[in-house]
Amino acid sequence: MEFARKVWKLLVAIKDGLALLLLLLFFMVLYAALTARPGAASVQEGALLLRLDGMIVEEPSIPDPVTQLLTREAPVGEYRARDVVRALRLAAKDDRIKAVVLDLSGFMGGGFVHLQDIGDALDEVRAAKKPVLAHATAYIDDGMLLAAHADEVWVDPNGGAFITGPGGNSLYFARLLDKLDVKANIYRVGTFKSAVEPWTRSGPSDESLRAYEGLWGAIWEEWKADFAKARPKAKLDRVTGDPVSWLKASGGDAAEAGKAAGLVDRIGSQTAFGQRVAEIVGENGADKAPGGFAHTSLFTWLDANKRDRAGKAIGVVTIAGEIVDGDAGPGLAGGDRIARLLDKALDRDFAALVVRVDSPGGSVIASEQIREAIDRHKAKGIPIVVSMANVAASGGYWVSTPASRIFAGPGTMTGSIGIFAILPTFDKAMANLGITGGGVKTTPLSGQPDVLTGLAPEISPMIQASIENGYGEFLDLVSASRGLSADKAHDWADGRPWSGGTARQLGLVDEFGGLDDALAYAAKQAKLNPGEWHPEFLGGGGDPFAALLGRFHSRESARGRVTGDLAGLAAARQHDLVQQAAIQVQRLFSAHGIQAYCLECPAVRPVALPPVRQSLETGLGSQLLRLMAN
């Protein structure tokens, strides 16, 4: 028996050794694949193929590699907007690129400002006398806006093109909470701070509706103007004014209806489209499959064209996604992570710092943590410039206040200067189940906040006082940064979100422009001439393992979620709405503390929110927040 046990141990050891060896070999091969960089020889003369299977974002998130190896569901592909813009601008000047091809069948959308930037870059390609061709199974607003900048827009015979416009309904949970005897205790400052309304009302308030109408109305006008400029002959009013009659006029054939309205130019399969591209750029010599054409992919093209790093460095820090406490991100703006990036760069000889913001806000504590880290760079005497992308509202505006100059687009959503907190209590629901509380208290705050058996009467006024104090701090930051009186700052605040165009008129934004404009302004303030500087993106290296997974999975993932007919698009929208509802419920029952968050502003991406970090500062307000987080 002893001999058998020894043999068994030997076999187990051999098995474990072989498994470890195979694992090491796997990671060695993987490392070799990740570190191998394509050179100029990898670029094939022909088309630049942008197969955008996923979303355009400011900062791609990093999926957990272990989860991605084990899960059966591929992550949504994410493409950095500035990478796509740079690829197109390089293509416009490189003789090896004869055309640009947009494959949008798996495209899941992006922010309006990002789409405008990419559209401008596509126009540069066309101005260089290089054709741009687009194909998709079906187009909806975001994909249609990109395709509008193409010389030829193709759609699959079984697909179509639809324009829905921005806006839509939000969910309101007040009646459900009443039925469950759950009370959402709301603390806020700002008449227009409507992020709390889903828990207190059965529909939007008049103030919220006014904010929505002004915001989405301005964005819609910008969208239509951009589309009409790119595709002036399209009959947009017919498509959006009476969509039923428009579709019926083509016998219900959405592809033909899109062509009749000038949204698309030609109807054809992916193979037919590929054959058309091959007529322009040549066939793919390595692949004789039907519909193949000579091309270079986005990632190969970017890898073969490294950024110029000559001259002085201008630092760029990205604040993208919801602002949360802790180390979250990229893709989420974790206060600890971003402050650490900034502090590690304090000893760098940056000529200036550009803060790129694409965030609807979030945690007040994390927003202030990031703002203080930016201020430490400002104390060095270098120019601080903010570039707002799609959204820079609430906490996103909070972190923008150190800037001497703020750039935004007319379609940027900003403002929403107000704060709130939500604390649900369950004493009535617990009593209905026969559960009550009792005990000894040494002070009115003993055991508080008690969300299960009820709040002491002192708690709510104390939290509201903390909210009002935080709002006062927010107003002070805005008035000092923008050179406004406290009264004027309050007039433009009060929790109301603004479009970039209105924000510029109010003085909350200084100038229209994108990231390149902000960088050029920062360089000028630092007394640097063109060619004497380069941008250096803090924490922008990314995770090569996650990038490899994204390249493997993104196409399958996106194309499994996007379908061409109207019913399929409705199903995809239903999935998104259910996901958003789940996030809203999570927001109520998760601990976040005081928030500077914009409900009207679209989330950069749906996210699962992390808990409030444990290392909160001392003080009564912070102690209350800590109790709320437990």
Average pLDDT over residues 229-242: 94
CA distance 83 to 302: 8
Q: What is the pLDDT of residue 160?
A: 93
Is residue 87 within 8 A of residue 301, CB to CB? The reply is yes
Q: What is the pLDDT of residue 450?
A: 87
Q: Lowest mean pLDDT: which of 238-247, 446-455, 476-485, 598-607?
A: 598-607
Nearest residue to 320 via CA among 355, 372, 346, 347: 355
CA distance 415 to 21: 56
Average pLDDT over residues 104-129: 96
Q: How confident is the model at residue 361 (pLDDT cuts 50, 70, 90)?
A: very high
Residue 415 β-bridge partners: 393, 497
Average pLDDT over residues 612-623: 38
Task: Give me the catalytic one of 193, 194, 297, 416.
Answer: 193
**Torsion angle, CA of 617/596/382/484, rounded to 10 degrees?**
-120
pLDDT tens profile 370-391: 999 999 999 999 999 999 999 9
pTM of the model: 0.84
Q: How many residues does the chain have?
A: 630
Average pLDDT over residues 170-192: 87
pLDDT tens profile 132-151: 999 999 999 999 999 999 99
Name which residue leads in pLDDT, 551 or 458: 458
In 3-state terms, what secondary structure has residue 199?
helix
CA distance 624 to 505: 39
Q: What is the pLDDT of residue 625?
A: 39
Q: Lowest mean pLDDT: which of 15-29, 82-96, 352-366, 549-563?
A: 549-563
CA distance 474 to 468: 10
Annotation marks residue 194 as catalytic: no
Please check the confidence at residue 559 and state whether its pLDDT lies above 60: no
Q: Where are the domains of the chain?
A: 41-163+263-303
In 3-state terms, what secondary structure has residue 53?
coil
Percent of the chain residues topping a pLDDT of 90: 56
In 3-state terms, what secondary structure has residue 565?
coil
pLDDT tens profile 502-551: 999 999 999 999 999 999 999 999 999 998 999 999 986 545 554 555 44
CA distance 296 to 42: 8
Q: Measuring CA to CA, how many Å separate 382 from each of 351, 385, 612?
A: 6, 10, 33
Per residue, the 3-state secondary structure of 526-555, as one string, reads CCCCCCCEEEEECCCCCCHHHHHHHHHHHH
Average pLDDT over residues 555-570: 53
Task: Give me the catalytic one of 194, 297, 359, 394.
Answer: 394
CA distance 206 to 215: 14
Q: What is the pLDDT of residue 139?
A: 95
Q: Where are the alpha helices (DSSP H) in 359-511?
A: 364-378, 395-398, 427-432, 459-482, 486-492, 500-506
Q: What is the pLDDT of residue 71?
A: 56
CATH T-level fold of 41-163+263-303: 2-enoyl-CoA Hydratase; Chain A, domain 1 (3.90.226)
Residues 6+ apart with CB under 8 A from 51: 103, 106, 297, 298, 555
The DSSP secondary structure of 111-143, one letter per residue, reads -HHHHHHHHHHHHHHHHTT--EEEEEEEE-HHH
Name which residue leads in pLDDT, 22 or 604: 22
Annotation marks residue 312 as catalytic: no
Q: Show the tokens assigned to 168.
A: 């839509």
Q: What is the pLDDT of residue 22?
A: 66
Q: What is the pLDDT of residue 5?
A: 64
Name which residue leads in pLDDT, 14 or 270: 270
Q: What is the DSSP letter of 444?
A: T
Residues 6+ apart with CB under 8 A from 84: 50, 52, 56, 118, 121, 298
Nearest residue to 103 via CA among 75, 68, 77, 129: 77
CA distance 5 to 8: 5
Please check the confidence at residue 553 and state whether its pLDDT lies above 90: no
Q: What is the pLDDT of residue 573?
A: 56
